[in-house]
Amino acid sequence: MPLTNNTLNYTLHLADNALILGQRNGEWCAHGPILEQDIAITNITLDLIGQARNFYQNAAACLHESGDPTASEDSLAYLRTEREFKNLLICELPNGDWAQTILRQFFFSTFQLLLFEKMKHSNNEPLVAIAEKSIKETQYHVKWSSEWVIRLGDGTTESHSRITKAVDTLWMYTGEFFIPASYEMIDVASLKNEWMNKVKEVFDEATLTLPENVFMQTGGKNGAHTEHMGFILSELQYLQRVFPGAEW
């Protein structure tokens, strides 16, 4: 498919989502509540990094076609500034406690699965291939995180309090899923009802209440990030700054 600015920017958006959330989740490595769940969140992190690599490689190939032979997955991940990243704000937020991390994963993975299912019918063959490859692992991400939301919500008084606090913290960032940026090639607004139905189904089982009348935070898709983004990139890109030219 011929390169357009929309194709490149949308591919970078998808890559940035996966990379930044993977970087955040990676902070749990060796710090999970029990060994089994430590391994689970680490495997999800690896899945996200793998998705990011596929999208960055595709973006780099597009740039090669347009006359930039120096572009690579490494340069796209490590040599862009925070204003050039197009990830959703929810991906860059601090982990908080286990409940907040779990709920963020559930919100994002539920959206991502719907997006990949729709992307399979796109006319962009590279994106179709990545979506098809990613669906199975994303189905697991949804299953794992939704089970934890239910476990915490319908658990003890303490666990219910923590997941409720996580809902209050994160809900204001979920609206950005469905507000399209100018470059998006999938109609994300059309995914909202199905996403809400899935979230409500899980929340009902978890004895949680859907928030109402919440002002939604936006900007990440267009490079306007929270104060947390610069700190993430300082850590993520440190090796590249110390050893220029290092590769994944």
* pLDDT tens readout for residues 55-105: 999 999 989 988 888 899 999 999 999 999 999 999 999 999 999 999 999
The average confidence (pLDDT) of the chain is 94
Give the span between the Cα atoms of 110 and 112, in whole angstroms. 6
Question: What's the average model confidence in pLDDT over 111-123?
Answer: 96
Q: What's the pLDDT at 1? A: 35
Residue with tokens 């959330």: 21
Residue 248 has pLDDT above 80, yes or no: no
Q: What's the pLDDT at 3? A: 44
Q: What's the pLDDT at 4? A: 55
Residue 52 has pLDDT above 60, yes or no: yes
Q: What's the pLDDT at 2? A: 38
**What does the domain layout of the chain look like in residue ranges?**
5-242
Neighbours of 5 (CB within 10 A): 10
Give the span between the Cα atoms of 56 and 126, in whole angstroms. 11
DSSP H or E segment with residue 119:
helix 98-119
Q: What's the pLDDT at 175? A: 98
Q: Look up residue 74 and give its two tokens.
A: 């490494």
Residue with tokens 């399979």: 120
Q: What is the pLDDT of residues 164-185, one digit of tens each?
A: 999 999 999 999 999 999 999 9
Most confident listed range (24-33, 186-195, 234-243): 186-195
Return the CATH number of 5-242, one of 1.20.1260.10, 3.40.50.300, 3.40.50.1580, 1.10.260.40. 1.20.1260.10
Number of helices and strands (H, E) in the chain?
A: 10, 0
Whether the Cβ atoms of residue 125 and residue 58 lie closer than 8 Å to each other = no
Q: What's the pLDDT at 130? A: 96
Residue type, 96: G
The closest of 146, 152, 153, 119 to 51, measured between CA atoms, is: 119
Q: What's the pLDDT at 9? A: 95
Neighbours of 156 (CB within 10 A): 9
